[in-house]
Amino acid sequence: MAQNILRQAAETQFAQEIEEIKKQDKHTRPENWLLSPHAVVTYLMGGQLANGFVVSPKYIGNRRLMEIAVATLTTDRALLLYGLPGTAKSWVSEHISAAISGDSGLVIQGTAGTGEDSVRYGWNYAQLLSAGPVPEAIVETPVMRAMKEGKIVRVEELTRIGSDVQDSLITILSEKMLPIPELNTKVMAVRGFNIIATANNRDKGVNDLSSALKRRFNTVILPVPETIEEEVEIVQQRVASFSKSIDLAVEKPILEEINRIVTVFRELRNGVSADGKTKLKSPSGTLSTAEAISVMNSGLSLAYHFGDASLKADDLASGLIGAIIKDPVQDKIVFQEYMESVLKQRDGWKDIYRACREII
């Protein structure tokens, strides 16, 4: 049955790595943690263990950021992963939870419609009507379960939740308890409990955090990859994982194509060509690393199912244009100018220039 799952949870997919790290872990573990903080960072950043076992990197970037993030969770403060869309906030959140609690599935997805009963607790109304407010009628949220079990709970897109609902976390974070006034009781958090929240300020419809709630979080800003080599490595790793998960056998090595897609994204994002000679306008989208991964995955699928399994510029062009042109008027103009001033002039890039021109 597990083989049919489209995407396994981090603790399942990397169970062997977690187990090997656990065997080699000689550092002090906080209560109810699966691994020590040092070992959690090893799991995140990858490397070779003392017994020769190789751990794959989950986060490619500044190690110190991961050390700060993990260290925060050993304190009485929660962790807020902040950054532009596509900077691996959710990815990092999932893997930290997997390495600490062995369970990354305690998640609240923040939306404008997320109510207080999704954060604190809800009621089974059939039981509530028949028996009144009794413990059996309570519907536990991921937060309540995490408090009882001493685990990490993840709150995705915290700033999409309304401010009044956000503030329902204040008592939980400061007092480490969840009052249930209807039963004249409360749930006390077990050691190991904490919250990892993610947020960005780029999308529309976000709500500012109150100063009281901000004080309960330590914020770690996840930046876009600093160098093109870093970004290419991230895309390559995630694309390889995607290809393996759906049994895509692609004949042509794809590193060259990843380099081209990442180069396009970075140039448009930075507003200047890689050689620094041509100033460019930036489109309205974020052109994140996550979108570069999506373009590659889409191209690989096209090449495999509708081509000869050899990745070509035609396979990438539609995904590339879809990622860049969000505003059909302004972004189209921006990309057309980029095509003529950069793509057309670059040696060895005529194929991708022609493929994009045909679609536009």
Residue 3 covered by a domain: no
Q: What is the rounded distance in angstroms from the CA atom of residue 120 to the CA atom of residue 236?
A: 40
pLDDT band at 1 (very low <50, low <70, confident <90, very high): very low
What mean pLDDT comes out for the span 234-253? 74
- Do residues 275 and 132 both lie within one domain? no
Q: What is the mean pLDDT of the chain?
A: 92
Residue 287 covered by a domain: yes
| Region at 102 (left for phi over 0; alpha for psi -120 to 50; beta for the rest) | left
Q: What is the rounded distance in angstroms from the CA atom of residue 148 to the CA atom of residue 55?
A: 31
- Do residues 149 and 81 both lie within one domain? yes
- Do residues 195 and 289 both lie within one domain? no
- Do residues 239 and 341 both lie within one domain? yes
pLDDT value of residue 254: 84
pLDDT band at 100 (very low <50, low <70, confident <90, very high): very high
Domain count along the chain: 2
pLDDT band at 321 (very low <50, low <70, confident <90, very high): very high
Coil, helix or strand at residue 30: coil
CA distances from 134 to 104, 124, 127, 324 (A): 29, 10, 8, 54
pLDDT value of residue 235: 93
- Do residues 253 and 162 both lie within one domain? no
Share of residues in the chain with pLDDT > 90 (%)? 81
pTM of the prediction? 0.90
pLDDT band at 205 (very low <50, low <70, confident <90, very high): low
Residue 126 covered by a domain: yes
- Do residues 41 and 184 both lie within one domain? yes
- Do residues 78 and 148 both lie within one domain? yes
- Do residues 245 and 214 both lie within one domain? no
**Cα 160 off chain centre by:** 16
User: Could you report the per-residue pLDDT of 267-302, keeping only the tens digit for each?
Assistant: 999 999 999 999 999 999 889 999 999 999 999 889
pLDDT band at 207 (very low <50, low <70, confident <90, very high): confident
pLDDT band at 355 (very low <50, low <70, confident <90, very high): very high
Q: Is the pLDDT of residue 245 over 90?
A: no
Residue 189 covered by a domain: yes
Adjacent-strand bridge partners of 139: 122
Q: What is the rounded distance in angstroms from the CA atom of residue 206 to the CA atom of residue 200?
A: 8
CA distances from 272 to 227, 279, 281, 285 (A): 15, 4, 8, 16
Task: Strand 107-109: give its sheet, edge to edge.
Answer: 107-109, 152-156, 194-199, 78-82, 217-221
| Region at 99 (left for phi over 0; alpha for psi -120 to 50; beta for the rest) | alpha
User: Could you report the per-residue pLDDT of 29-78, keeping only the tens digit for each?
Assistant: 999 999 999 999 999 999 999 999 999 999 999 999 999 999 999 999 99
Which phi and psi angles does 85 have, rounded to 5°? Answer: -55, 140
- CATH number at 24 reads 3.40.50.300
Count how many residues are written for the chain.
360
pLDDT value of residue 84: 87
DSSP 344: T
Residue 120 covered by a domain: yes
What mean pLDDT comes out for the span 242-264? 78
- Do residues 209 and 354 both lie within one domain? no
- Do residues 168 and 27 both lie within one domain? yes
Share of residues in the chain with pLDDT > 70 (%)? 96
What mean pLDDT comes out for the span 200-222? 86
Neighbours of 341 (CB within 10 A): 14
DSSP 112: T
Contact 137, 127 (CB under 8 A): yes
156: containing domain: 10-221
Contact 66, 45 (CB under 8 A): yes
Question: DSSP assignment of 148-170, as one string?
Answer: HHT-EEEEETGGGS-HHHHTTHH
- Do residues 77 and 143 both lie within one domain? yes
Q: What is the rounded distance in angstroms from the CA atom of residue 61 to the CA atom of residue 224?
A: 9
Q: Which residue has the higher pLDDT, 85 or 170?
A: 170
- Do residues 37 and 155 both lie within one domain? yes
Contact 206, 194 (CB under 8 A): no
Q: Is 182 exposed, middle or buried (0-12, 13-18, 19+ CB in 10 A)?
A: middle
Q: Domain ends where: 188, 221, 254?
A: 221
DSSP 275: T
Q: Domain ends where: 156, 189, 221?
A: 221
User: Could you report the per-residue pLDDT of 138-180, keeping only the tens digit for each?
Assistant: 999 999 999 999 999 999 999 999 999 999 999 999 999 999 9
Q: Is the pLDDT of residue 251 over 60?
A: no
Tell me the torsion sign for CA atoms 197, 201, 207, 211. positive
Residue 333 covered by a domain: yes
Residue 343 covered by a domain: yes
Instruction: Give the residue carrying structure tokens 């620094």.
Output: 276
pLDDT band at 252 (very low <50, low <70, confident <90, very high): low
Q: What is the rounded distance in angstroms from the CA atom of residue 121 to the CA atom of residue 19?
A: 34
Q: Domain ends where: 179, 200, 221?
A: 221
Residue 2 covered by a domain: no
